[in-house]
Chain A
Amino acid sequence: MTLSLGTKKAIDLVVFLFLLFMGAVSILVTFAIVWVLLVDTIRFFTHPDGGGFPTSLIRFFTEKEWTPTFYEKKIGIWPLLNGTFMIAGISMIISIPLGLLVAVYLSEYASWKVRESVKPWLDFLEAIPTVVYGYFALLFVTPILQKFFSLFSIEVQGMNALSPGIVLGVMILPFTASMVEDAFKGVPQYLREASYSLGASKLRTALFVVLPAAKSGVLSAYLLGFSRALGETMVVAVAAGMYPQITANPLEPVQTITGYIVQVALGDLPFNSFEYLSIFAAGMLLFVITLLFNSIAVYMKSKSVGY
């Protein structure tokens, strides 16, 4: 195939422009997300059912009930935030110690063979559909919890925050553990060797040399994990109930921001109705919160010391 140099150069330019354009589409997607959330959130706060702008915004942050779908509309966001943060918090209680243990074991102790045979399964754990985890939380973990707590004659409701919290904790574990492991991998071997040469054990080296050296990477991994737990939807939609309330009791049903969006979306949703707009306001808040945690995580990682 003989093309003239001019044609070749033209093709080169066209290909370049095409690739650049496709790369830029991702920016368009981000803009579209921010735009659609922003526009409909503003419409939500100016909607007469919420009392119109500034009133609605004040009600959003001061009322203690969330009932935009009822006849009598209360639009206090705190019950949803309560549920969201409680479940994400429980998942971190499971995920942080367990994930750290798994990551330290895999990166510092396990032989190459063990590591290579465990990692694909951890990857697969990440690919399990979340609705499957939801099923597992509702119909496997909750009954076990009910039996366990009945030993102490404590009643656990069929829908509760604890069960999806635990399942979420295990669910995000492969994700955080592999990032923590990467952070450990970034710690140069000579630090470990220096520690060993001073007579430190593997455990001491892992906890007092490698972990502090990988600190920012580990923190960033957990922040990303937390942000993921905040935005998780199906596990909580299936197993946490649909009852937005302010409570500190993880054995009661709660509702998360994501759970609320699912509940409303399942019903008939007239465009621009108050219910329709309310899921965008809730979604906007979720978007801002997760963006905040992600940004802190990225900042953390950028602060990590290069060796």
Chain B
Amino acid sequence: MEQSVEAKLKEFDVEGYTHGVRRRDRLFEIAGLIATLFVLTFLFAVSVDLLIDGWIRLKEPGFYTSFPSRFPDQAGILSAWVGTLYVMAGALFWAIVLGIPAGIYLEEYGGKGKIARIIEVNISNLAAVPSIVYGLLALGVFVYRFKFGESVLTAGLTLGLLMLPVVVVSTRESIRRIPRSIREAAYALGATRWETLVHHILPYSLGGILTGLIIGASRAIGETAPLITIGALTFIAFLPPAPWEDFIGMLKSPFTVLPIQMFNWVSRPQEEFHYNAAAAGFVLLVLAFLMNSIAFYIRFKVRRKYQW
């Protein structure tokens, strides 16, 4: 009755078994490849869908130089892209002013101290707060309590805060990559901490910080929800005053941005407006693509330039 181990081994089809194992391995690899390709196809489908739907508007030069209109074939994105420009400038300003110093503090000065630890946990929590909650913050605090109104200033501040975690994290990461020996060499020559910071740490980490800023901005440029919450208007038939003529007026001016203009057009029932929405979406997509490419390029360059 009882088979010996050897007999069992003899019966066991080693070749068939390993063949099966190899095949399953191969099948799984192909499944993984297909899944990855599916995700990339999705990206491709989104872009092509927007391009096809929006082509009729994208090819019109008037689309870029006209204000929104009741007539879909006359409506354009002039106020939207100008608004996006102003709002992003504001967002970058706040992200630079608040984010980079915070990142430097955490990496260079904070160490393992208690305050640094609290700030660190806090920033990682902020990163996970849904963007629409930032919109509620802006509505409750900036718009009504600080009386900034539904303005370029409020929008820039809101998106700047939204970008903050990305900027802080990328600043920290690029500073962390600088080896300790650089700092010690500076100290050994009698440099103080801020001299070390300004002469060495900042220049060497600038590429990484810049990459973080651009990545953060590429996310912020498409943010719609927090700006809808603060009450960005969708029908703006004028431009904010140029900052070199009336800076305060520009900050206080009502605005619209590309994603909000697009949202407005998507939510309309007439199909003609959907072409406009697709065209605006494609412009956004191109902007996001350009920003990401620049960030990718800088990262690549920096990797080459500084090899410790």
Contact = CB atoms under 8 A, between A and B. Distances in A.
Contact of A102 (B28, B36, B106, B168): B36
Contacts of A37: 133, 136-137, 140
Interface residues of A, number: 86
A131 B136 contact: no
Interface in B119-162: 119, 122-126, 128-137, 139-141, 144, 161
B140 A133 contact: no
A233 B132 contact: yes
Interface string B219-238: 10111110011110000000
Contact of B40 (A121, A126, A298): A121
Given A19-B101, A20-B105, A132-B285, A27 B139 contact: no
Interface string A194-212: 0000000111101000000
B125 A98 contact: no
Nearest to B103: A23
Contact of A230 (B122, B130, B168, B281): B130
B39 interface: yes
B24 A203 contact: yes
Interface string B267-308: 100000010011001001100110110001000000000000
B265 to A, nearest CB: 9
Contacts of B25: 201-203
Contacts, number: 271
B93 interface: no
A22 interface: yes
B102 A129 contact: no
Contacts of A72: none
B123 A140 contact: no
Interface stretch (A28-36, A46-54, A74-82): A28-36
A135 interface: yes
A122 B259 contact: no
Nearest to A200: B21
Given A18-B101, A140-B49, A280-B140, A227 B128 contact: yes
B302 to A, nearest CB: 15
A16 interface: yes
Given A19-B104, A130-B224, A11 B192 contact: yes
A291 B125 contact: yes
A165 B136 CA distance: 24
B193 interface: yes
B119 A9 contact: no
A224 interface: yes
Interface in A119-155: 120-136, 138-140
Chain B interface size band reads 35 or more
B248 interface: no
| Highest count of chain B CB atoms <10 Å: which of A9, A101, A228 | A101
Contact of B132 (A106, A140, A206, A258): A258
A271 interface: yes
Contacts of A228: 128, 130
A250 B219 CA distance: 29
B128 A201 contact: no
Given A22-B97, A203-B24, A261-B136, A12 B222 contact: no
B141 A36 contact: yes
B262 interface: yes
Given A29-B126, A127-B215, A233-B225, A23 B102 contact: yes
Contacts of B132: 231, 233, 258, 261-262, 283, 286
Interface in B1-46: 21-22, 24-25, 28-29, 31-33, 35-36, 38-40, 42-43, 45-46
A286 B263 CA distance: 22
A227 B105 CA distance: 29
Chain A binding surface SS class = helix
A134 B264 CA distance: 12
Contacts of B278: 135, 139
Contacts of B131: 231, 233
A161 interface: no
A307 B24 CA distance: 29
A3 B195 CA distance: 12
A104 interface: yes
A248 interface: no
Interface in A244-280: 258, 261-262, 265-266, 269, 271, 279-280
Given A22-B97, A23-B105, A283-B133, A123 B262 contact: no
B266 interface: yes
A209 B292 CA distance: 35
Contacts of B106: 23
B250 to A, nearest CB: 24
A125 to B, nearest CB: 5
A132 B222 contact: yes
B281 A132 contact: yes
Contacts of A124: 43, 288-289, 292
Nearest to B116: A23
A241 B165 CA distance: 32
A283 B24 CA distance: 47
10 contacts: A8-B195, A16-B109, A40-B140, A120-B296, A126-B219, A135-B278, A136-B50, A234-B224, A258-B130, A283-B133
Given A33-B129, A129-B285, 19 more contacts: A15-B197, A16-B194, A20-B105, A26-B122, A26-B126, A30-B125, A33-B133, A40-B140, A120-B292, A132-B50, A132-B284, A133-B46, A135-B262, A203-B24, A203-B25, A203-B28, A233-B131, A238-B266, A262-B132
The 5 closest A-B pairs by CB, nearest first: A129-B222, A231-B130, A105-B32, A22-B101, A233-B225
